């Protein structure tokens, strides 16, 4: 499978497009902005976007969804059920932390999902791993030896826990769970910053 990375927005969020070369199905992880670059990448791979998966409810991972939905009303957007409240309060959250961005639309999520949701790209199942702590309901998505970790794990770091819904002890146990569960060779695609691996984080992540 192929991953294309897009860095968008003032917080330099990573949005990832994962393409299955066999089925030509694709999934977009997080949507900070929706630009032509994403469409170009889909065209380049001759792929169809099957759905968008949101790792957690922070605005910098969801602000592009309104435009995305306007252009692609038929493509479903899935987000974790535990962050439903946070997503529905995106306008208040942005007001409090940024202000002056003008009217923010509530991200148009098609369906809120839990870890039992059965999602596939081609024949590849996407495992939804609960990883609460950075937010109340954030998740990571695991497929094809790749972990799309949102703001749970970064290269030699972890997500902040001082925002509403954050909980350091919970985040620590979420990170431990992931490190214990997944194999060394799994590549971690975080919501910000550089790629890493389970092996590297097992050996270097200060939270452990
Ligand atoms: Zn976040």
Three-class HEC string of 123-171: CEEEEEEECCCCCCCCEEEEECCEEEEECCEECCEECCCCCCCCCHHHH
Using the mean position of ligand 1's atoms as its centre, give its distance from the Cα of residue 133 in Å: 10
Using the mean position of ligand 1's atoms as its centre, give its distance from the Cα of residue 123 in Å: 30
Reading the block at residue 151, the tokens are 């703001």
Q: Domain span at residue 111?
A: 2-204
Using the mean position of ligand 1's atoms as its centre, give its distance from the Cα of residue 73 in Å: 25
Residue-wise pLDDT tens digits, 9-51? 989 999 999 999 999 999 999 999 999 999 999 999 999 999 9
pLDDT value for 61: 97
Using the mean position of ligand 1's atoms as its centre, give its distance from the Cα of residue 22 in Å: 32
pLDDT value for 100: 66
Using the mean position of ligand 1's atoms as its centre, give its distance from the Cα of residue 24 in Å: 30
Using the mean position of ligand 1's atoms as its centre, give its distance from the Cα of residue 143 in Å: 21
Using the mean position of ligand 1's atoms as its centre, give its distance from the Cα of residue 60 in Å: 7
Burial 124-147 (b: 16+ CB within 10 A, else e): bebebbebbbbbbbbbbbbbeebb
Using the mean position of ligand 1's atoms as its centre, give its distance from the Cα of residue 53 in Å: 14
Using the mean position of ligand 1's atoms as its centre, give its distance from the Cα of residue 61 in Å: 7
Number of independent structural domains in the chain: 1
What Cα–Cα distance (Å) separates residue 133 from each residue in 2, 86, 107, 164? Answer: 29, 14, 22, 10
pLDDT value for 101: 65
pLDDT value for 30: 98
Q: What is the CATH number of the domain that holds 177?
A: 3.60.15.10
Using the mean position of ligand 1's atoms as its centre, give its distance from the Cα of residue 46 in Å: 31
Using the mean position of ligand 1's atoms as its centre, give its distance from the Cα of residue 134 in Å: 7
pLDDT value for 125: 98
Using the mean position of ligand 1's atoms as its centre, give its distance from the Cα of residue 127 in Å: 20
pLDDT, averaged per 10 consecutive residues of the chain (208 residues), comes to 96 97 98 97 98 97 96 98 96 79 85 98 98 98 98 98 95 98 98 98 96
Using the mean position of ligand 1's atoms as its centre, give its distance from the Cα of residue 135 in Å: 7
pLDDT value for 104: 82
Using the mean position of ligand 1's atoms as its centre, give its distance from the Cα of residue 11 in Å: 10
Using the mean position of ligand 1's atoms as its centre, give its distance from the Cα of residue 121 in Å: 25
pLDDT value for 191: 98
pLDDT value for 195: 98
Using the mean position of ligand 1's atoms as its centre, give its distance from the Cα of residue 21 in Å: 30
DSSP per-residue codes, the chain = -EEEEEEETTTTEEEEEEE-TTT-EEEEE--S---HHHHHHHHHTT-EEEEEE-S---GGGTTTHHHHHHH-TTS-EEEEGGGHHHHHTHHHHHHHHT--S-PPPPP--SEEE-TT--EEETTEEEEEEE--SSSSS-EEEEETTEEEEETSEETTEE----STT--HHHHHHHHHHHHHHS-TTPEEEESBS--EEHHHHHHH-TT-
């Amino acid at each position: 499978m192929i991953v294309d990375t897009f860095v968008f927005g003032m917080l330099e969020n990573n949005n990832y497009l994962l393409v299955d070369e066999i089925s030509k199905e694709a999934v977009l992880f997080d949507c900070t902005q929706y630009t032509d670059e994403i469409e170009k990448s889909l065209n380049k791979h001759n792929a169809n976007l099957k759905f968008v998966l949101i790792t957690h409810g922070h605005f910098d991972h969801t602000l592009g969804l309104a435009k995305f939905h306007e252009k692609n009303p038929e493509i479903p957007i899935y987000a974790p059920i535990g962050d439903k409240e946070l997503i529905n309060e995106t306008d208040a959250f942005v007001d409090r932390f940024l202000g002056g961005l003008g009217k923010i639309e509530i991200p148009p999520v098609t369906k809120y999902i839990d870890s039992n949701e059965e999602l596939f790209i081609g024949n590849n199942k996407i495992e939804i791993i609960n990883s609460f702590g950075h937010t109340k309901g954030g998740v990571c998505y695991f497929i094809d030896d790749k972990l799309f970790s949102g703001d749970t794990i970064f290269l030699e770091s972890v997500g902040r826990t001082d925002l509403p819904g954050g909980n350091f002890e919970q985040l620590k146990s979420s990170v431990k769970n992931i490190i214990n569960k997944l194999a060394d060779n799994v590549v971690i695609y975080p919501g910000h910053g550089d790629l890493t691996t389970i092996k590297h984080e097992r050996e270097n992540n200060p939270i452990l």
